[in-house]
Structure 1
Amino acid sequence: MCLSLLKKALSLSILFLFFLVGSVSIQAQDDDSLVSETNYDALELRSIGPAINGGRIADIDFHPKEEGTWYVGVGSGNVWKTTNAGTTFEPIFDDQSSYSIGSVEVDPNRPNIVWVGTGENVGGRHVGYGDGVYKSTDGGESWKNMGLEASEHISTMIVHPENSDVVYVSAQGPLWDSGGQRGLYKTTDGGETWTKVLGGNEWTGVTDLVMDPRDPDVLYAATWQRHRTKWAYMGGGPGSGIHKSTDGGETWKEVTRGLPSSNMGKIGLAISPQRPDTVYAAITLDRRTGGVYMSTDRGESWTKQSDAVAGGTGPHYYQELYASPHDHGILFLVSVVTQVSKDHGANFESMDIERKHSDDHAIAFREDDPGYMLVGSDGGLYETYDGRETWRFLDNLPIMQYYKISVDDAEPFYNVYGGTQDNGSNSGPSRTEHESGIRNADWFKTLGADGHDSATDPELDKIIYAETQQGGLHRVDLATGDQVFIQPQPREREDYERFNWDAPIQVSPHDAERLYHASHRVWRSENRGDSWTPISGDLTLDQERLKLPIMGKQKSWENPWDVLAMTNYNTITSLAESPQQEGLIYAGTDDGRIQVTEDGGENWREVRLADIEGVPETAFINDIKADRFDANTAYVAMDAHKNGDFSPYLIKTTDRGQTWTSIAGDLPDRHLVWRLVQDHVNPDLLFAATEFGVFFTVDGGEEWVQLEGGAPTVAFRDITIQRSHNDLVAGSFGRGIFILDDYTPLRELDTELLNQEAHLFEPRDAFWYMPNEVSEYQGHDDYQADNPPFGAVFTYYLKDGYQSKEANRQEREAELETDEDVSFPGWNGLEEEIREQGPMVQVVVRDEGGTIVNRVNGPTSPGFHRVNWDLRHAEKDVVDLGAEIPESLDDGGFPATPGTYTATLTKVQNGEVTELSGPVTFEVTPLREGTLEGAPGEEIASFRQELETFQQELTAASNTLDEQIDKVHALQTALARAEEEAPDLVKRLHDARSRLLELREEMEGSEAKNQIGERNPPSPSSRMFVGYRALGTTYGPTEMHEKTVAAGRSELANIQDRLSELAEQVIPELEREVRAAGAPPIENGQD
């Protein structure tokens, strides 16, 4: 071969190889994207509540014209709306990008316009952050983000009372960092653009705003300088103050006469509705002190009324001030217990909160009812109608804030345990036998105060562990109710133990009696907490917190420090012992340290975050998980949001901490990672709980997918797996607890499966029982969370789905550009669309003998789908002519019996039935054994078949009887129009009618008696209903049921004989003779 030809051949070979490799690479990319592009919404996170207590309420606003319509902003649980004064609530903000709410404002001019400011305005260590201002123009049906995304925390909003386009927004700005969008912002075009009209330094925002009700140009604003770090909180500074505008916010002056000259902190403002020249201010000063001030000259000068200041957690957490709309001089200062003054703030007394939660944050009044108040607290919503003498709790808002959760192995339904913000620790079932679902009454409290980590004992089902803030560990005996305090204590001459606010607990995976707990050192107990031994020294940096920088630098003692209600610093925040190797323990701290021991605590080795690429060196270690399968592998979730960094950080080691790689993959920004959990079957299936949702990965962390089905936008701070049920349980910080029932389909997920046309996953076994109802008719405000669907739940996947011809055409047309022509499909094409029976996807259920028991219809769209078979046979009663093919085929039949069943996924399209996937096998098992032994399954099945036959025969006889009565009536009508007189026929038709009505009475009872409710003798119908009742229990038919059905069938047989004679002989002969008499013909068949 010549050189030129050789070069050409070589070039072609290289080119071919390039295209081959390129096509393979593109195919691989397409395959990889299948995982993230697939729709998983059917894998729903199911809320189980509870609503026994609430969560922190940030703001309340009433509709100005509809007294029963309220909007409630939940500090970390989105926005809720009621149109019936709290009887029911609906979440209306779940699909937005933020869950933390600072302010809700209804436009007084156009009440369908609602404004929401995201990011609540408290200085707490656990506060969420927002992304600006949202606006709805349809009462909360839809929302649009109107900007100020970098504000993070919004305190108040005011809509101009005469011009809906003018809105003021008080932006407090970031809590953990400087900068952002801080100050007072004004829009004059309905939020399209914003102008900052009042500002301060890089740490100062606006915390409150009030408007003169007589003159909307007169405004008073309170600025607040504050900063929180992991180690300390400073709640004031020179930027704090009170400012006044008389020109609608265009210009401002600071008012100082009579106000403190020292650093001020958070300020609450109120203006007297009765005498608006009177303005009040609740001002925080240094060292958690403060006072209430009053101005009677429109803010020009001020007089100190008292030393009142919000207490408890600290003024930064409360300090809102309200002036009564009914009585001049009555003030409400919200606090751990709201303080009430009747003399302009000179004296305060605590509000009566008997049977009411403390820690108030928001108050709403009715202008026409002086006795009414609606109060939002850390425990939810309370209302009073009698001037605070008595309170009603609105127990239908599932907005509890869970820090940590755990599960037990109770049968048949496991229980969930968790610790909550300011509402203690509690427990409830994962599901119940009640038709109504999971009620508040199904939950109970396990411990008080702030609840935190919970753990269960794998051997003793009545022993759990619960914890209050700062490591207050208790062992709880559910049998006796004992709450034994077992927190490890320092020994003689040792300093106090620095426990984190949310200190970790772990029950050893190797010994149920062994516990681990941690302060600044790790403690171990070998007797379930009765005694403790420290197995480490101080594993933290052990710093003096007041020497660390705050507001950008180290501050002197003469500053508004406040560390009372924040966590200790330099503490251990996470513990994990390897399930594979006893004594291999990891500890993580709040100051960026990971410590490892391989010998049960004898020696510890530090992992420096500074040595790990791409990780903040002082990150807060949220979670450490030792791999379930490999002793060398561990995972660490951390975050730096308390340094102003909202990036997700998730790392993995495969050599016991010597080296690390990031597995944060494509987790979105702002999604802090709180917790990680690994599947116990597939080591590459991981779940992550983040600040805005739950994610999973099937490739060890390269690609993450959010589970969005059923889940609102909310922070999930913990997740765990209930292994025997294969459920993922997620604790949210603001919306209670959620469960993804049976996540096993995710174990099988890979590109090969996703490239199949369809796939039916193996279902878990179904519980066989008769759901009961224990609380009917409790009213619409009775909160009930959903159980999982009853029966067998099938999960299937469709790659492309199936559409009708009409839907295909409409989809093609929708993809055209707006200026492109849309072609006419033609008359034949349109006729085909009209005639087509749309495609169906069905799960076909068969019994052990291969007989089809039922078919369950499901969605035909691409992605994952779930349908449930309600453990009933298909309806076997007679089908009426003209009956439509139902959307669902699994309703109305008799219950199936326990046993082995199979399911197959099929497609019905264009008259062809195609098996897509399966069969898969599952068991239907009794939930529990009855006290008395019931009928065997074969006997129940035999009785069911007999009852189905009886039902068919009875329905057929009833239909025939009705038809013959109608026919005789029609013959009588026709005879009345006959050309000849036929008195003999008149008599014979009369007699036939009488005989038919006698049969009807035998089947249905006396019409006269039925009219007044008098009892009839037993009939085939009544006996059949007795038989029905036998199949409404797991016990099955008794001898009485069997004899009753046999009697009914015998009675029916007698009726059928006489009815057959009339229908087949007597009435046809009468019809021939009526026609012979010259009568018009009658229509045969059904209408």
Structure 2
Amino acid sequence: MKKIISHLLILGLILAGFNEADAQRRRKQPVAKSSVLTDSVFAGLKLRNIGPAFMSGRIADIAIHPKNESIRYVAVGSGGVWKTVNAGTTWTPIFDKQTSYSIGCVTIDPIDHNIIWVGTGENVGGRHIGFGDGVYRSDDGGATWKNMGLKKSEHISKIIVHPENSDVIWVASQGPLWSKGGERGLYKSTDGGKTWNKTLGDDEWTGVTDIQIDPRNPDRLYAATWQRHRTVAAYMGGGPKSGIHRSDDGGESWTKLSKGLPTSQMGKIGLAISPQQSDIVYAAIELDQRTGGVYRSPDGGITWEKRSSAVSGATGPHYYQELYASPHHFERLYLVDVRMQISDDGGKTFTVMKEESKHSDNHAIAFKKHDPNYLLVGTDGGLYESFDLAENWRFVDNLPLTQFYKMALDDSAPFYNIYGGTQDNSTQGGPSRTDNVHGIQNSDWKIVLNWDGHQPATEPGNPDIMYGERQEGNISRIDLSTGETVDIQPQPEADENFERFNWDAPILVSPHSPTRIYFASQRVWRSDNRGDKWTAISGDLTKNQERIELPIMGRTQSWDAPWDFLAMSNYNTITSLAESPKQEGLLYAGTDDGTIQVTVDGGANWTRVDVSSLPGVPATAFVNDIRADLHDANTVYVALDNHKYGDYSPYILKSTDKGRTWRSIKGNLPQKLLVWRLVQDHVNPNLMFLATEFGIYFTINGGTNWVKLKGGVPTISFRDIQIQRRENDLVGASFGRGFFVFDDYSVLREVTEDVLKKEASLFSTRDAWWYVPRPDISFDEIKGDQGASHFVAPNPDFGATFTYYLKDGLKSKKEIRQAKEKKIKGNIPFPGWDEVDAERNQYKAEVILTVKDASGNVVRRINGPTKSGFHRVAWDLRFPAADGIASGNLANGAQGFMAAPGTYTVSLSKKVDGQVTELAGPVSFKVVQLRKGALEGASPAQAANFWRAYETTTTKVSEVNIRLSKYTQKLDAMFKALERAKAAPGGLDKQLHDTRAKIIAINSELNGSTSKVQVGEKTKPTIGNRMFAVFRGIERSTYGPTDTHKRSMEIINSQLSSLSTKLDGVNNELKQLATALKNAGAPYVDVD
């Protein structure tokens, strides 16, 4: 019996195991491949980068071309590589198509200046930095790139190319920040980067943070090693393996230097060699507890002397500490810091550089070879240059490099505003678009809160009230009508301990009451009066650990270890909040230490879910984002992140039972793609978007398949993503390239795999605003007269934007043949002369969008792209140009006037070999008046009717001009023909002369006296004068015609009628003259 019971118990355990395994399998989302849901199919849906550039972003390194100082390369800590060829007047991003956005350094080959080296992954120890994938080389000044290896380095400090041999390169790799291992240390290549040999550094925590080469002896190098590690909980910025090393054999072997150097554990070290006396070497050394000093060696590093206790500070030496020796002033040193420190005595004393009207947090300096007064400095806020040795600074205000942590959208009408908290550039706000002819300028943006910016929030229905946050929970309420800010951070009671706010603490405006907000430290706070009074609705929802008791560098560490507490974020904090819009009081809180908490009663009771219980999720995962489903109270989503333990996998999960059980919905996401935020469409529950470390992804099927939105987007991290529901706009906050707007993403609601298998589809069109764009700095020029450096971000295309999809695209006979030939492995047959002629003579295929008014009248036909995939084409609301087209002059930049507000349709067709085939539509949309003027003029319909009448008259005027020009040419031909006629001088000569006089008279009536016009003398009002006067009156206004405009048109049309009759007479005379010339034996003259 016991045996039976035992067997039954074993069987039960086995079955339980099978059931659990089966449940796990059910919870796992299968990865489904789709032939149509691919990135390339949707590449035509382009996002709009709106900047801003008025505060820019962090610069990691600068390289100035040694022969042409107008050419410069800038390595952006989070934003790629940029190049200028005109000293910063304009900039071009040259690294956007590569697979890394975080850049540590850029180096120009000293021999071949077209060879550019880039080290990816910036070399700071901050909590927010991105990572790289090795070393890149360009042989054409940045036009093309090739990854040269060291893909596991993650953070590269510096690259040096041998001054006499371009094949010899040294790379200082600091290595991973969040984990041990990787490719860290000093690497050398002797074959142009094809292979690398590691000669310095260990395999765990120590990399190389700086390297210098002796300008007189390229075999002598100095390298600084740096042992450091950051976790989600703590930061240790030094260790026994940090130090200074010297090589005298080109980096093949190294000697650690020690005489006169500190014996305590060192942290980050910056090195510099005196350009004037290269035996003099300087080192800025971080020591325990943020102490340190500047050391000087007079003998190439053999002995050292401490010159001062200078060290960079603020967020910590890990963030600065680079040291520069002036090429122009012996013993002048620059120590980068919050405010630049300068020494003129070799490091004995330091003063703060003058930095009025300049951003703080310096990181890089570049000098001009022959200008001792010039400085080019890279900061957290972009580039600055001085022409008078730091007395005054010029800001480079056309580099859109802002790093946004989180964002919020308001519901301002007619255009909403975007707010974002930034890395060291405050909380910024600006418009999603403008109503002017230029777009969005730097002047359209403003700072609403200072310091580092983090989570903002807006009040629905009241765009004057918003919330902003400085780091670590310093929340403020901002009255945008006055610009006043009120600090509303909740405070503990007298008997309570301090609040642990995350570096980027979450703010949540309740979907059930616009004046109710939630905030979080280690507990959740609620306010029902916009933060004037707070109530804690939870206890400590975190694990409440002592962070210095947690492992770092592989083990728990002594109190005496080189901790940097000021560089650490608070730990055991709440990082994300959500409330179900379908069930008031159903709240979720996620933490940085691996827990999710759920309450269904507004905080009275909480249920803890450890993330380790989620399928495939590590126990250490950080809860980046929780989103309550917009359509179902039981459903919730969570995005987790384990990159602070060296794990860059995507963790995105869904629960349909309020967080009790979960399944992964990562689908086909790349394996190395950490997920920051998620947002769900408010109409289609299966349409969702992700903000990830490498772009924006969407799914139309609830996470089975994910597609990357590549159109108009560089390689960049997106840390937040939001939807403006009224406009159906998707806005992404990038960490280094500003904001990106997907205007009217609602097209994706209509996309299914079946739709994409059709030949073509035409999607719904958003209503279009009807207005005349106002001038700001110019009436028509995008940048006005402000110069090429003036930064302007684009508005959406004016008018109605049509979105369509072509499954295969339209291919010419030649393209079809070439596609077939590519599949042939053997001999390719000659197609035949008939086929070659057919290819040559084929008129190009066209995609045509036809706009009609409510009565079915064609308003406009617009040609669109013919390639496969999605496309967007805008109708500018205008009728086609009314000007006539003369043969031989087909180019015409003129345009018609706008159509009236109302209902319109658009349809899609194709034209191949003259045959038109309807593909999709019609789709209805509206044109809606945006605004009214201060004065009551004509109705929009009346104004549009006058525009149509003006266009009709324009056609008549151009017809008269074309006829006049044509008759003049014919008459000139007849004079030539008469010279060759077999007729005596006399009658025909007089007839031609009289006809010519009539043409001159008609031209004078139409366009004025040629003699007066030529010298600028006033002439009697002509039809052309009157037309232009009316045009000036109605071109930039929806007010409608004045009485003067109407009377002018009456005069014009009366005069046109008379001129047309006269031209008919001239035409008859020309025909008669042609007959007479023919009879006189003259050559043929075309008069038809």
TMscore range, shorter length: over 0.9
Residue in structure 1 matching 2:827, options 783, 807, 821: 821
Question: Which SS does the other structure have where 1:161 is aligned?
Answer: coil
1:393-430 Cα distance to aligned partner (Å, 9 max, x none)? 00000000000001011111110011000000010000
Count of paired positions: 1052
Residue in structure 1 matching 2:804, options 796, 799, 803: 796
Amino acid at match of 2:680: Q
1:850-869 Cα distance to aligned partner (Å, 9 max, x none)? 01111111111111111011
Write the mapping of 1:439-588 to structure 2, written as runs, cut at 5 A.
439-588=441-590
1:38-85 Cα distance to aligned partner (Å, 9 max, x none)? 511121111010001011100000111111000000001110000000
Amino acid at match of 1:321: L
1:1025-1080 Cα distance to aligned partner (Å, 9 max, x none)? 2333425322222222121111111112122222221221x333333334444444
Q: Is the CA contact 1:514–1:527 (under 8 Å) kept in the aligned structure 2?
A: yes
Q: Is the CA contact 1:120–1:155 (under 8 Å) kept in the aligned structure 2?
A: yes
Aligned pair 1:1068/2:1071, yes or no?
yes
1:477-535 Cα distance to aligned partner (Å, 9 max, x none)? 01111110001011102111100010000010001111100000000001000010000
Moved more, 200-209 or 1030-1039: 1030-1039
Amino acid at match of 1:785: A
Taking only aligned residues, the RMSD between alpha carbons, in angstroms, comes to 1.6
Shift of the 1005–31 alpha-carbon distance from structure 1 to 2, 3 Å rule, reads farther
Q: Aligned partners of 1:54, 1:953: CA distance in 2, in Å?
A: 53
**Cα shift at 1:87:** 0.6
- The aligned residue for residue 92 of structure 1 is 94
- The aligned residue for residue 988 of structure 1 is 991
In the superposition, the TM-score normalised over structure 1's length comes to 0.95
1:20-45 Cα distance to aligned partner (Å, 9 max, x none)? xxxxxxxx999943223651112111
Amino acid at match of 1:1062: V
1:822-879 Cα distance to aligned partner (Å, 9 max, x none)? 1111111111111211211111100011011111111111111110111111233333
- The aligned residue for residue 854 of structure 2 is 848
Q: Aligned partners of 2:462, 2:952: CA distance in 1, in Å?
A: 51
Residue in structure 1 matching 2:838, options 832, 835, 850: 832
Question: Which SS does the other structure have where 2:649 is aligned?
Answer: strand
Amino acid at match of 1:925: V
- The aligned residue for residue 1015 of structure 2 is 1012
Q: Aligned partners of 1:277, 1:38: CA distance in 2, in Å?
A: 56
Question: Which SS does the other structure have where 2:959 is aligned?
Answer: helix
- The aligned residue for residue 857 of structure 1 is 863
Shift of the 980–754 alpha-carbon distance from structure 1 to 2, 3 Å rule, reads closer
Q: Is the CA contact 1:856–1:890 (under 8 Å) kept in the aligned structure 2?
A: no
Question: Which SS does the other structure have where 1:615 is aligned?
Answer: coil
Question: Which SS does the other structure have where 2:977 is aligned?
Answer: helix
Moved more, 854-863 or 584-593: 854-863
Aligned pair 1:186/2:194, yes or no?
no
Q: Is the CA contact 1:306–1:345 (under 8 Å) kept in the aligned structure 2?
A: yes
Residue in structure 2 matching 1:61, options 57, 60, 63: 63
Q: Aligned partners of 2:115, 2:553: CA distance in 1, in Å?
A: 38
Q: Aligned partners of 2:460, 2:339: CA distance in 1, in Å?
A: 41
Aligned pair 1:972/2:980, yes or no?
no
Shift of the 785–258 alpha-carbon distance from structure 1 to 2, 3 Å rule, reads same
Amino acid at match of 1:1069: Q
- The aligned residue for residue 689 of structure 1 is 691
Q: Aligned partners of 2:598, 2:211: CA distance in 1, in Å?
A: 51
1:256-314 Cα distance to aligned partner (Å, 9 max, x none)? 11000110010000000110010000000010010000011011110000000001110
Moved more, 987-996 or 475-484: 987-996
- The aligned residue for residue 637 of structure 2 is 635
- The aligned residue for residue 719 of structure 2 is 717
- The aligned residue for residue 880 of structure 1 is 886
Residue in structure 2 matching 1:269, options 257, 268, 271: 271
- The aligned residue for residue 18 of structure 1 is none
- The aligned residue for residue 13 of structure 1 is none
Residue in structure 1 matching 2:77, options 75, 78, 83: 75
**Cα shift at 1:118:** 0.4
Amino acid at match of 2:592: D
Moved more, 707-716 or 1048-1057: 1048-1057
Q: Aligned partners of 1:672, 1:938: CA distance in 2, in Å?
A: 53
Q: Is the CA contact 1:675–1:690 (under 8 Å) kept in the aligned structure 2?
A: yes
Q: Is the CA contact 1:874–1:890 (under 8 Å) kept in the aligned structure 2?
A: no
Amino acid at match of 1:730: G
Question: Which SS does the other structure have where 2:532 is aligned?
Answer: coil
Amino acid at match of 1:920: V
Aligned pair 1:956/2:959, yes or no?
yes
Q: Is the CA contact 2:32–2:668 (under 8 Å) kept in the aligned structure 1?
A: no
Q: Aligned partners of 2:156, 2:31: CA distance in 1, in Å?
A: 42
Q: Aligned partners of 1:963, 1:677: CA distance in 2, in Å?
A: 63
Q: Is the CA contact 1:895–1:1031 (under 8 Å) kept in the aligned structure 2?
A: no
Q: Is the CA contact 2:31–2:704 (under 8 Å) kept in the aligned structure 1?
A: no
Residue in structure 2 matching 1:200, options 180, 199, 202: 202
Question: Which SS does the other structure have where 1:564 is aligned?
Answer: helix
**Cα shift at 1:943:** 2.2
Q: Is the CA contact 2:39–2:710 (under 8 Å) kept in the aligned structure 1?
A: no
Residue in structure 1 matching 2:50, options 36, 48, 51: 48
- The aligned residue for residue 1053 of structure 1 is 1057
- The aligned residue for residue 19 of structure 1 is none
Moved more, 1024-1033 or 82-91: 1024-1033
Amino acid at match of 1:370: P
- The aligned residue for residue 949 of structure 2 is 946
Q: Is the CA contact 1:80–1:90 (under 8 Å) kept in the aligned structure 2?
A: yes
In the superposition, the TM-score normalised over structure 2's length comes to 0.95
Amino acid at match of 2:468: A
Residue in structure 1 matching 2:760, options 752, 758, 769: 758
**Cα shift at 1:940:** 3.0
Percent of aligned positions that are identical: 57
- The aligned residue for residue 15 of structure 1 is none
**Cα shift at 1:365:** 0.3
- The aligned residue for residue 806 of structure 1 is 814
Residue in structure 1 matching 2:295, options 293, 304, 313: 293
Shift of the 349–38 alpha-carbon distance from structure 1 to 2, 3 Å rule, reads closer
Q: Aligned partners of 2:175, 2:372: CA distance in 1, in Å?
A: 36
Write the mapping of 1:378-397 to structure 2, written as runs, cut at 5 A.
378-397=380-399
- The aligned residue for residue 655 of structure 2 is 653
Amino acid at match of 1:92: I
Residue in structure 2 matching 1:215, options 211, 214, 217: 217
Q: Is the CA contact 1:873–1:890 (under 8 Å) kept in the aligned structure 2?
A: no
Q: Is the CA contact 2:411–2:461 (under 8 Å) kept in the aligned structure 1?
A: no
Q: Is the CA contact 2:323–2:335 (under 8 Å) kept in the aligned structure 1?
A: yes
**Cα shift at 1:890:** 10
Q: Aligned partners of 1:65, 1:469: CA distance in 2, in Å?
A: 44
Question: Which SS does the other structure have where 2:638 is aligned?
Answer: strand
- The aligned residue for residue 786 of structure 2 is 778
Residue in structure 2 matching 1:1040, options 1039, 1044, 1053: 1044
Q: Aligned partners of 1:38, 1:372: CA distance in 2, in Å?
A: 46
- The aligned residue for residue 24 of structure 2 is none
**Cα shift at 1:984:** 3.4
Q: Aligned partners of 2:32, 2:589: CA distance in 1, in Å?
A: 40
Q: Is the CA contact 2:761–2:806 (under 8 Å) kept in the aligned structure 1?
A: yes
Moved more, 969-978 or 755-764: 969-978
Amino acid at match of 2:355: I
- The aligned residue for residue 242 of structure 2 is 240
Residue in structure 1 matching 2:107, options 105, 108, 112: 105
Residue in structure 1 matching 2:745, options 725, 743, 746: 743
**Cα shift at 1:609:** 1.4
1:173-201 Cα distance to aligned partner (Å, 9 max, x none)? 00000011110001111111001011235
Aligned pair 1:258/2:260, yes or no?
yes
1:546-590 Cα distance to aligned partner (Å, 9 max, x none)? 111110001001111012133100000000011000100000000
